[in-house]
Amino acid sequence: MASDYSATPITMDNINPKVLKCEYAVRGEIVSIAQTLQQNLKDNPGSHPFDEILYCNIGNPQSLAQQPVTFFREVLALCDHPSILDKSETQGLFSADAIERAFQILEQIPGRATGAYSHSQGIKGLRDTIASGMEARDGFPADPNDLFLTDGASPAVHMMMQLLIRSENDGILCPIPQYPLYSASIALHGGTLVPYYLDEQTGWGLEISELEHQLKTAKSKGIDVRALVVINPGNPTGQVLGEANQREIVEFCKKEGLVLLADEVYQENVYVPDKKFHSFKKISRSMGYGETDISLVSFQSVSKGFYGECGKRGGYMEVTGFSPAVREQIYKLASVNLCSNISGQILASLIMSPPKVGDESYESFSAEKEAILSSLARRAKTLEEALNSLEGVTCNRAEGAMYLFPCINLPDKAIKAAEEAKTAPDTFYAKHLLNATGIVVVPGSGFRQVPGTWHFRCTILPQEEKIPAIVSRLTEFHKKFMNEFRG
Residue ranges in 156-175 that form contacts with a copy of itself under rule CB under 8 A: 158, 162-166
Among residues 37, 58, 380, 458, the one that binds a copy of itself under rule CB under 8 A: 58
- Contact flags string 210-229 toward a copy of itself, x per CB under 8 A: ----------------x---
96 is a contact residue toward a copy of itself (CB under 8 A):
no
- Which residues 243-302 are close enough to bind a copy of itself by CB under 8 A? 257-259, 291-295
**Closer CB to a copy of itself, residue 134 or residue 310?**
310
Taking contact as CB under 8 A, which single stretch among the options 212-220, 276-284, 304-312, 410-418 is the one that binds a copy of itself? 304-312
7 is a contact residue toward a copy of itself (CB under 8 A) = yes
20 lies in the site for a copy of itself, by CB under 8 A: yes
Nearest to 35 by CA among 441, 467, 440: 440
Give the interface segment with a copy of itself, choosing from 240-248, 318-326, 359-367, 436-444 (CB under 8 A): 318-326
Asked if 368 interacts with a copy of itself (CB under 8 A), we say no
Q: Looking at beta carbons only, is 18 or 247 nearer to a copy of itself?
A: 18
**One of 198, 310, 407, 410 touching a copy of itself (CB under 8 A):** 310
Among 96, 136, 208, 326, binds a copy of itself (CB under 8 A): 326
242 binds a copy of itself per the rule CB under 8 A: no
The C-alpha atoms of residue 25 and residue 19 are separated, in whole angstroms, by 14
Which one, 76 or 414, has the nearer CB to a copy of itself? 76
Element (H, E) at 233: none
Nearest to 482 by CA among 395, 385, 415, 384: 415
Distance in angstroms (rounded) separating the CA atoms of residues 55 and 57: 5
Nearer to a copy of itself, 46 or 115 (CB): 115
111 in contact with a copy of itself (CB under 8 A): yes
**3-state SS, residue 382:** helix
Cα–Cα distance, 69 to 303 (Å, whole number): 12
Q: Exposure pattern of 13-44 as b/e (b: 16+ CB <10 Å)?
A: eeeeeeeeebeebbebebbebbeebbeebeee
Q: Does 76 bind a copy of itself (CB under 8 A)?
A: yes
Is 371 one of the binding residues for a copy of itself (CB under 8 A)?
no
DSSP-based three-state secondary structure for 20: helix
Q: How far is the CB of 312 from a copy of itself (least distance, A)?
A: 6
Torsion of Cα atoms, 105 then 111 then 115 then 116, to 10°: -120
HSE on the CB side for 89, CA within 13 Å?
A: 3
Decide if residue 341 touches a copy of itself (CB under 8 A).
yes
Is the Cβ of residue 49 or residue 290 nearer to a copy of itself in the bound state? 290
Interaction of residue 118 with a copy of itself, rule CB under 8 A: yes
Site string for a copy of itself, 124-153 (x = CB under 8 A): ---------------------------xx-
HSE-up (13 A, CA, CB side) for residue 181: 19
Q: Is 360 helix (H, G, I), strand (E, B) or coil?
A: coil
Binding-site size for a copy of itself (CB under 8 A) equals: 104
Packed helices 96-108 and 124-138: angle between N→C axes, nearest 10 degrees:
120
Contacts of the segment 52-56: beta carbons below 8 A, 24+ positions apart: 52/438, 53/438, 53/440, 54/437, 54/438, 54/439, 54/440, 54/462, 54/466, 54/470, 55/31, 55/440, 56/439, 56/440, 56/441, 56/458, 56/459, 56/461, 56/462, 56/470
Nearer to a copy of itself, 42 or 422 (CB): 42
By CB under 8 A, residue 8 contacts a copy of itself: yes
Show the DSSP H helices in 292-361 as ranges. 324-336, 342-351
